[in-house]
Amino acid sequence: MQSVYYFILLSVFVCVNGKNVCFDELGCFSDSAPYSGSLVRPISLLPELPDIIDTKFYLNTRRIQNESIRFDNIPVHFNPLLPTKFIIYGFIQNLQKRWITRINEKLLIAQDSNIILVDWSKGNILN
């Protein structure tokens, strides 16, 4: 039980720093409350540089699969009149997971839409 108290104390001490990091096109991020210092979020780290994480976006529609897209270049296959859905996997995962492919397929069968897969695999592990 004593180790749990030490963990909580250490977590709060380490996480409640109130630091910020800003990136030109993305804005600023903070490690202060509500993003740290609680039992729900005992550990909070500021994001890495965008060049390190190298987030990639892929458009899937009923007509095209895995078209690479950027925020500053909307592809011709993106239809703004259709609903847009994002599939973003969690910590320590990647786009190679079968559930991502299945959800993408099922969403496109259910409704013609823009599905955007977000690949942040270089940033979702502890280095």
DSSP assignment of 7-64: HHHHHHHHH----EEEETTTEEEE-STTSSSSSSSS---PPPPHHHH--EEEEE-SS-
Tell me, what's the pLDDT at 15? 47
Whole-prediction pTM: 0.73
pLDDT of 24 reads 86
- Report the pLDDT value the prediction gives residue 112, as an integer from 0 to 100: 97
- Other beta carbons less than 10 A from residue 56's beta carbon: 15
Pairing status of strand 114-119 against strand 56-60: antiparallel
Residue 91's pLDDT is: 81
Positions in the chain short of pLDDT 50: 15, 127
Residue 70 DSSP class: B
Question: Tokens for 23?
Answer: 């990136």
